[in-house]
Structure 1
Amino acid sequence: MTSVFAQEPHRALVNGVPWFDDQGQIVNAHGACVVEEEGKYYLFGEFKTDSTNHFIGFSCYSSSDLVHWKFERLALPKQEEGLLGPGRIGERAKVMRCPQSGEYIMLMHCDDLQYKDPYIGYAVSKTINGEYSFQGPLLYQGKPIKKWDMGTFQDHDGQGYLLVHHGDIYRLSADYKEAEEKVASQISGVGESPAMFKKEGVYYLLSSSLTSWERNDNHYHTASSIAGPWKKQGLFCPAGSLTYNSQCSFVFPIVQQQDTVLMYMGDRWSYPKQGQAATQVWLPLETISERLQIPSYLPSWDPLANESRVISQRSNSIPARKPFVSNRRGEKIEFLFKGGRFYIKGTSDRHGGYGRIVIADKKDRVLHQVMVDFYSKVSDDGIRFVSPSLPKGKYKVTVEVSGEQGLWYKKDGTRFGSDDYYVRVDEIGYVD
């Protein structure tokens, strides 16, 4: 549909809420990475839906400021057959530019729907935002690497590496199209979703514990060489914060004139509604010697300036009202809006369900609707939604209890997710 939404010129990355692209559609890129090319940033990730975990494609977006995103294309769509064909899963797309060939190499996890047929696959493209050509499995010693959760790392000298769950690290060939050497094996204490960066001669390896789609306290290791020895250091976020309700995916170095800002990129998964309700958490990392930390959670910030940004103030709220709290399907709160952008603050906790937010014009035509997740294992009071910009005019916004909840089970039958359907809205206001 043609969007009436526009993007604001100011830079404020808001964590844990749906982001919208230049057409007013949700930025759909999960398990993501960012690549910088000639002053522009490219975001690659899983294009999810709310109805199936089947592979749809890996998306590509571009941005000049890491906040406002333009949809480029499905960089790698579903294949007609094979490892990324019908009835398959594709996850954790990571892209690197190969210094030797100039090609862009995408590595990913391929699997069946039961996660019992894992492969590391790869695809290539001549241009960063072109359509990537799937090449099949990545080989090591002539055999496919049959692993699942993965990441990549490109060292300062251009050497590429494949990172695999539970601490396997492979050095890639000069053309990045096969694994030449396993430089580290089963590093003790390394879990899922590995991510790596290097600063001042120290390698940092981040990973999460194994709790399915649930969040947990992620941890990190350090070493002076990728081959090790690796030392487990502990957590890089406050204990019990569950890594600010996220799972690590990538660390992107934002190179500035004076310094390099290390940006943690994490996923706030929301099973089963991953397409609409899963969100991103991007935060600046700090290192002191071998110590790594994200000292505090920034609800909104400017990544290029590395400064916190306040986007909402109670004095700017639309008019004050009592909190809306309900777990009754169909119960809702409505308010009128005059254009610009608005925010919704609320509480997520283990009793939360999905809230349906609908934006309609004065003729009750629905312009946009999105599911917002009010579930989190650790209670969180904060911004749950920020709208795209709307032209001046009259709009009606509805927040409705959907009567649905995030709920899933591990293979062994362990239950995860919400125990109720609550939606709680504490404040609604204009974005400054």
Structure 2
Amino acid sequence: MGNNRKLRLLGLGVFAVCMLWSCTKRQAAMTTEIVSDELWKDVDGQLINAHGGGILHYKGRYYWYGECKGDSTYRLERVKSWECWRADAKGVSCYSSADLVHWKFEGIVLPSVPQDSLPDLHPSQIMERPKVLYNEKTGKFVLWLHIDSPDYEKGMAGVAVADKPTGPFVYRGSFKPNGFDCRDQTLFKDTDGRAYHICATDWNETLLVSLLTDDYTGTTGVYKRILVHEKREAPAVFKRKGKYYLLSSGCTGWDPNEASYAVADSLLGTWVAQGNPCSGPNAKKTFYAQSTFVLQLEGEDRYIALFDRWNKKNLIHSTYIWLPVSFEKEKLVITWKKRMML
């Protein structure tokens, strides 16, 4: 009897240890903590390469689209006005996640084309700031990105379309939105289904807001030049409680500067600058990072501001900084947190 009791106790002990190990493993798999300014890896242990990106929520998953940069960084010496560091473009990458922490690589959904008649997509060219919207009317996923020459003299917007969020996207070509040059850019879909393209224009002197066509693949001729001569780039737009917010950076090339945000009652209305929303160490340098997107968590009044901390001499190893957005009355605040729980 004594030996049987000992065996039962031993069995219960082993069972408890196994359960504890199983729960610990399951909790580790379910961790929803974002750690900023580190090299992130996907679920297969590979480096996440999705810079200057944006996120689309579709049918319970988040899709992160970004610049897939080559592994060699070089300086374009013929550009004398600023430090034009470059990495060859590999295309637009896509990752998917259910929790914003564990990301699956879905592939390069719009690849660069080394030997093709489309010079826009050659690896030597600029393929930056990709953003994707889903169009309920057409059932298509529409991707916009900044297309440029290596010296940033071209200033165009490119458009591609896909049947699935994971592509492949078919390139439609590039153009100047409403006839204006286009550099850093983003997209925004309003609650009424209308979509807008927002980009730096006038050689980064001004921002341009353009209403898109019903299929989201072109501009309508309805537009508004905003923050004129304020020299803002890296726009990120979101809406909260009927007001529109636009986060942006100054224009200092790859080097960090002070962020600013503006507020409007309409995307095509009057935007009023509000100053720097950042709070904490290095807030006047935007935590040594640059804005790219503001994500609203699906079904919640919670927002995450996405930034890139550029490593200009090794661009593929630039890191990501994702920070919580809060509001003090109506004031937008982005506070530094190395670790953020979702």
TM tier relative to shorter chain: 0.7 to 0.9
* Unpaired runs of at least 5, structure 1: 1-6, 304-432
Q: Shift of residue 23 of structure 1? A: 1.4
TM-score (norm 1): 0.65
Paired position in structure 1 for 2:140? 103
* 1:19-418 equivalence runs, <5 A: 19-52=40-73, 53-79=87-113, 80=116, 81-138=118-175, 140=177, 145-165=180-200, 166-188=206-228, 189=230, 191-238=232-279, 240-241=282-283, 242-256=285-299, 259-275=300-316, 277-294=317-334, 296-303=335-342
Which letter maps to 2:325? L
Which letter maps to 2:290? Q
Write the distance in 2 (CA, Å) between the matches of 1:221 and 1:86. 35
* Unpaired runs of at least 5, structure 2: 1-27, 74-86, 201-205
Which letter maps to 1:57? G
**Residue deviations 1:265-319 (CA, integer Å, cap 9, x gap):** 11011012111x211111111124531111x31111223xxxxxxxxxxxxxxxx
Q: Shift of residue 87 of structure 1? A: 2.3
Write the distance in 1 (CA, Å) between the matches of 2:127 and 2:49. 14
Contact 2:231 2:251 in 1 (8 A): no
Write the distance in 1 (CA, Å) between the matches of 2:158 and 2:31. 39
**Residue deviations 1:374-427 (CA, integer Å, cap 9, x gap):** xxxxxxxxxxxxxxxxxxxxxxxxxxxxxxxxxxxxxxxxxxxxxxxxxxxxxx
Paired position in structure 1 for 2:12? none
Q: Shift of residue 187 of structure 1? A: 2.0
Q: Shift of residue 74 of structure 1? A: 0.1
SS for the counterpart of 1:83 is helix
SS for the counterpart of 1:56 is strand
Q: Shift of residue 228 of structure 1? A: 1.8
Paired position in structure 2 for 1:372? none
Q: 1:140 to 1:264 in 2, by over 3 A?
A: closer
Between 146-155 and 246-255, the greater mean CA deviation after superposition: 146-155
Q: Shift of residue 243 of structure 1? A: 1.5
SS for the counterpart of 1:216 is coil
SS for the counterpart of 2:321 is strand
Q: How many matched pairs? A: 292
SS for the counterpart of 2:168 is coil
Q: 1:290 to 1:181 in 2, by over 3 A?
A: farther
Q: 1:154 to 1:190 in 2, by over 3 A?
A: farther
**Residue deviations 1:81-131 (CA, integer Å, cap 9, x gap):** 321124211000000001221100000001111111121011000000121
Larger C-alpha radius of gyration, 1 or 2?
2
Write the distance in 1 (CA, Å) between the matches of 2:185 and 2:298. 25
Write the distance in 2 (CA, Å) between the matches of 1:182 and 1:206. 22
Which letter maps to 1:203? Y
Write the distance in 2 (CA, Å) between the matches of 1:284 and 1:201. 20
Q: 1:211 to 1:41 in 2, by over 3 A?
A: same
Q: Shift of residue 10 of structure 1? A: 1.7
TM-score (norm 2): 0.81
SS for the counterpart of 2:44 is coil
**Residue deviations 1:169-219 (CA, integer Å, cap 9, x gap):** 000000011111343114233500111111111111111001111111110
Write the distance in 1 (CA, Å) between the matches of 2:151 and 2:176. 23
Write the distance in 2 (CA, Å) between the matches of 1:181 and 1:263. 32
Identity of matched residues, %: 33
Contact 1:160 1:171 in 2 (8 A): yes
Which letter maps to 2:341? D
Write the distance in 2 (CA, Å) between the matches of 1:186 and 1:39. 35
Q: Shift of residue 238 of structure 1? A: 3.1
Q: 1:283 to 1:100 in 2, by over 3 A?
A: same
SS for the counterpart of 2:267 is coil
Higher helix residue share: 2
Which letter maps to 1:83? D
Q: Shift of residue 138 of structure 1? A: 4.2
